[in-house]
A = this chain, B = another copy of it.
Amino acid sequence: MRSRTTPDTPRTGRPRSAEADEAILEATRAALVELGWSKLTMGDVATRAGVAKTTLYRRWANKNELVVDAVAVLFDQLELPDLGSLQADIEHVVLQFAGLLERPETKTALMAVVAESTRDAPLRERIRASIVDRQKRLVLDGRRRAQERGELPSEREPLTADAIDDLIFDVVAGAVVHRALVSAEPVDAQWVARLSALLVGGLGAVAALG
């Protein structure tokens, strides 16, 4: 966590209510499901959480940061069990990610906060730290495992390896998001099978570039 506006925890005075924290985040998710991003208001969230509006503003400066924190915890579920092959690992994590994007909270919130982040560097950093990096770690773990199995060669140039990791991440995450939110079509097993085949088949060609 460690993300909301808590610059220096004071050692004196009444402490912040942890129950209020969780109630606010839960109320935010509920409001996202019910109203969506654009119709969600701070006053409504406060009412749902049984909390005064001023209590919200003591913790989050604006709607953007509140929603990022409310949605971020959902991405903690993402895991990468070792299924024995690169293709199986890819398919599993893609289906997991797609499952998250099916949820109405994330569907309406994720794109909205990313859109806002194009003009708000601190927000972009907050999203990166609490959501994006968590996904990216799965790519790194997947590549490491595939190398240990001998499915992928160990890249000699660390700079190139990083660039390929970045590419894979943008391709996988971007494709799933685009399929789910822009094309608005289901991320089903067949589509995932084709995507992972494309990746596994294409990785060799990319590595050959050097």
Which residues of A line the B interface, CB within 8 A?
36-38, 104, 107-112, 114-116, 118-119, 124, 127, 132, 163-164, 166-167, 169-171, 173-179, 181-185, 190-191, 193-195, 197-206, 208-209
Instruction: Pick from B110, B118, B177, B198: contact of A206, CB below 8 A.
Output: B198
- Contact of B178 with A116 in the complex, beta carbons under 8 Å: no
> Contacts of A116 on B, CB cut-off 8 Å?
37-38, 112
Chain A residues touching B, majority SS: helix
List 9 A-B residue pairs with CB atoms under 8 Å apart, sorted by A's residue number: A108-B118, A166-B183, A167-B191, A170-B179, A173-B174, A175-B175, A177-B178, A193-B209, A197-B209
- Contact of A205 with B209 in the complex, beta carbons under 8 Å: no
> Contacts of A183 on B, CB cut-off 8 Å?
132, 166, 169-170
**Chain B residue nearest to A201 in the complex (CB):** B205
> Contacts of A177 on B, CB cut-off 8 Å?
174, 177-178
